[in-house]
Structure 1
Amino acid sequence: MSSPWRPWMQRALQLAALGNGRTSPNPLVGCVVLDRAGQLVGEGFHQRAGTPHAEVHALRQAGERARGGTAVVTLEPCCHHGRTPPCSEALLAAGVARVVVAMRDPDPRVAGKGLAQLRDAGVDVLEGVCEAEARILNRGFLHRVEQGRPLGLLKWAMSLDGRTALPNGSSQWISGPPARAWVHHLRAQCDAVIVGGGTVRADNPLLTSRGQRTPEPLRVVISRSLDLPKQAQLWNQSEAATLVVHSSSAPAEQLDRLDGLGVERLVLERCEPLELLEALGQRGCNQVLWECGPELAAAALRQGCVQQVAAVLAPKLLGGTAARTPLGDLGLVDVNQAVAWSRSRLQQLGNDCLLELSP
């Protein structure tokens, strides 16, 4: 039987999604507050890390009307002192009689302790309403907390015959304006956009959301030897920050040049995708976007750094046996070794089609 709290939780999830791409390392959280009669008296969402949480916004709006009422929250209220006070204490101070949550917070600082504090104080606590939807919404946060690295999305655009560029490297534009606008929206939901040195040399990308997110996602270039062009849009950091990842053997003159441009650098021993994601996880990134060439994309897949794939398919034929394809060698010797994605979604983007895959 469907829970009577489900419509309110769905509203809270809608509110939580408004913070998409802006709350890392925190999760997306929404909250609605109902009075004793079940009428909506307050709502809010977590807007940015370091600012008040969803419960605080909703309780402020509700005021005294929250006393004896119900708070419907998409995630277990926090119970620890961080950059903001505990939300569990705010709920107790407001005098709510019931708290309905979609899911527990896997963060070890919370992990059931917030709900226990509420129950110990006599608050009626109900768990698991719309839990599946809440987990999907916060899949990036959950992945970072549970795996120690951000969720990885791999995106590419290709022609109907599977080409991402002509043999001479020409690739602009395979997809149309609606698909490119979708990419900008996708970047806005991610904390970092990752490319390799080859993409910087071939495409001179900007890698921003075109203002859909403030601040823009971190632009990451991974290049062991720093074989990078002297002039590139990524070196201008007036719009977005850039991080260049390289090995300890990179030439000194290249290091000096990047330092002179004010570009942040990170030295990694192996300079591999998995090592990079572990470093980005430590920086609080919940979700990253791989917009790289075939070799780096294949390495990311081989190392388990990709949890979702988004492929834009354009109704064009490029031909050419030497033309670029989305992926390099995955090391497969049998078709049955290929990873089978269990979920797929197809939608139209102008004249192009978008295929999204997830486990």
Structure 2
Amino acid sequence: MATAAEAAAMRQAITLAARALGATSPNPVVGCVILDTAGTVVGEGYHQRAGGPHAEVHALRAAAGRARGGTAVVTLEPCNHTGRTGPCVEALFDAGIARVVYAVSDPTPTATGGADTLRALGVDVEQGLLEDEARAGNIAWLSAAKSGRPYVTWKYAATLDGRIAAADRSSRWITSPESRADVHRLRAESDAVVVGSGTQRADDPHLAVRGIEGAVQPLRVVVDTEAGSVTPGARVLDGAAETLVVVAEDLDVDLLVETGAGEHWMLPRAKGGRGIDIPSLLAALHARGVRSVLLEGGPTLAGAFTAAGAVDRVVGYLAPVLLGAGPAALGEAGIGTIADALRLDITETVRIGPDLRITAVPAVPAVPAVPAVPSVPAVPSSPKER
């Protein structure tokens, strides 16, 4: 059984792991705390970036010789393979760790098995301490590892009567400065921010993170099916972050406008010809290393993601405002009757300035199949290369 000191250490490890949200993909966020033989914290660390030392290595370096005979408390099962860094099970054993307590088992075929290896080496291992809390903190990576596509959070801002803009399409600003600042936190925790052509034309969004020191900028993705909304001078092309423009693969490439975006992908259309096929888009993003997506698009793109079963979390910012007319937050989503409604479980409600932030997840998550062979390798970085 875990001790009180180990439980406290796991809570700290979960907090440490959260510092790197948005910075480690395609790797998970992981935190580690080292306790000496008396149960005193002697080292802490977290995985800070992909390709860098893992959490256990950072914590062991901080603990130095005081780790010998002690306990490593870690949010994810220590890895059992050599990638860009060596196996953590080897580092723990070499440091003389006598006991390992971890929260969540590693689901990936290449890295799993660390617990069994440690046990075979004579290390005492316990799994499951604060598992639910640790899993929640790493939900995007764990979900992507299982589904083969990024974890998608749909964010929207609306009035209390569900309008995202007035009848004349004016929308700045429905929510408060506090809510808008909170959206930058969501961006900083995401690998990619996605909008559609409607939002691009109406708002000329920037999509980069502002006001958060040290944030890793997410990939800015514009789903511009007909290649008409991203034009030279658009704010998403300002160099603050990488930008990807996605267009339909059946377009005449000679007619495409050179926008200056770093990447152009040409992907299949959805059935019926309207918009890009969402599973193909998500499979391609996953192949590029994206594990978490913040969907900031308007009602049409949000409806397409919802219809594809590709919304894993909803974060709605509701302002104490009434408009009575104007576009709704969600467009056509393939829901024809109340019996087909996507039911949600509310996981959190928080006041953000004068607004209310509501977080919810599907009551019965449904993850659609993704293509076995992502189309990313065949996607040119520029239409001119096709």
Distance 1:93 1:159 in 2: 57
Q: Secondary structure, in 3 states, of the residue corresponding to 2:249? A: coil
Distance 1:177 1:218 in 2: 24
298, 310, 314: which one pairs with 2:315? 310
Say yes or no: does 1:197 pair with 2:200: no
Report the equivalent of 1:267.
266
TM-score (norm: length of structure 2): 0.88
Question: Which amino acid in the other structure matches residue 178 of structure 1?
Answer: E
More displaced stretch, 82-91 vs 344-353: 344-353
Residues 60-105 of structure 1: per-residue CA shift (max 9 Å, x gap): 1111111111111110111111111111100010011101110110
- Alpha-carbon contact 2:103-2:130 (below 8 Å) kept: yes
RMSD: 1.5
Cα drift, residue 147 of structure 1: 0.3
Report the equivalent of 2:247.
246
Question: Which amino acid in the other structure matches residue 330 of structure 2?
Answer: L
More displaced stretch, 119-128 vs 342-351: 342-351
In structure 2, relative to structure 1, the CA distance for the partners of 1:252 and 1:319 (3 Å cut) is: same
Question: Structure 1, unaligned stretches of length 5 or more?
Answer: none
Report the equivalent of 1:135.
135
Report the equivalent of 1:156.
156
- Alpha-carbon contact 1:244-1:264 (below 8 Å) kept: yes
Distance 1:81 1:143 in 2: 23
Residues 122-152 of structure 1: per-residue CA shift (max 9 Å, x gap): 0000111011111111110011110001110
Report the equivalent of 1:335.
338
More displaced stretch, 273-282 vs 176-185: 273-282
Report the equivalent of 2:222.
221
- Alpha-carbon contact 1:195-1:291 (below 8 Å) kept: yes
Question: Which amino acid in the other structure matches residue 186 of structure 1?
Answer: L
Cα drift, residue 343 of structure 1: 3.0
Distance 1:262 1:205 in 2: 14
Distance 1:227 1:342 in 2: 38
Residues 113-124 of structure 1: pairs in structure 2 closer than 5 A: 113-124=113-124
Question: Which amino acid in the other structure matches residue 195 of structure 1?
Answer: V
Question: Which amino acid in the other structure matches residue 357 of structure 1?
Answer: A
Q: Secondary structure, in 3 states, of the residue corresponding to 1:329? A: coil
Question: Structure 2, unaligned stretches of length 5 or more?
Answer: 270-275, 363-386
Say yes or no: does 1:286 pair with 2:291: yes
In structure 2, relative to structure 1, the CA distance for the partners of 1:211 and 1:137 (3 Å cut) is: same
351, 355, 361: which one pairs with 1:352? 355
Report the equivalent of 1:64.
65
Distance 1:262 1:297 in 2: 23
Distance 2:255 2:159 in 1: 36
Q: Secondary structure, in 3 states, of the residue corresponding to 1:295? A: helix
Distance 2:255 2:109 in 1: 41
Question: Which amino acid in the other structure matches residue 104 of structure 1?
Answer: S
Residues 201-233 of structure 1: per-residue CA shift (max 9 Å, x gap): 000000111152543100001122112142310
- Alpha-carbon contact 1:200-1:229 (below 8 Å) kept: yes
Cα drift, residue 254 of structure 1: 5.0
Report the equivalent of 1:81.
82
Residues 174-225 of structure 1: per-residue CA shift (max 9 Å, x gap): 0110000000111100000000011110000001111525431000011221
Distance 1:26 1:49 in 2: 6
TM-score (norm: length of structure 1): 0.95
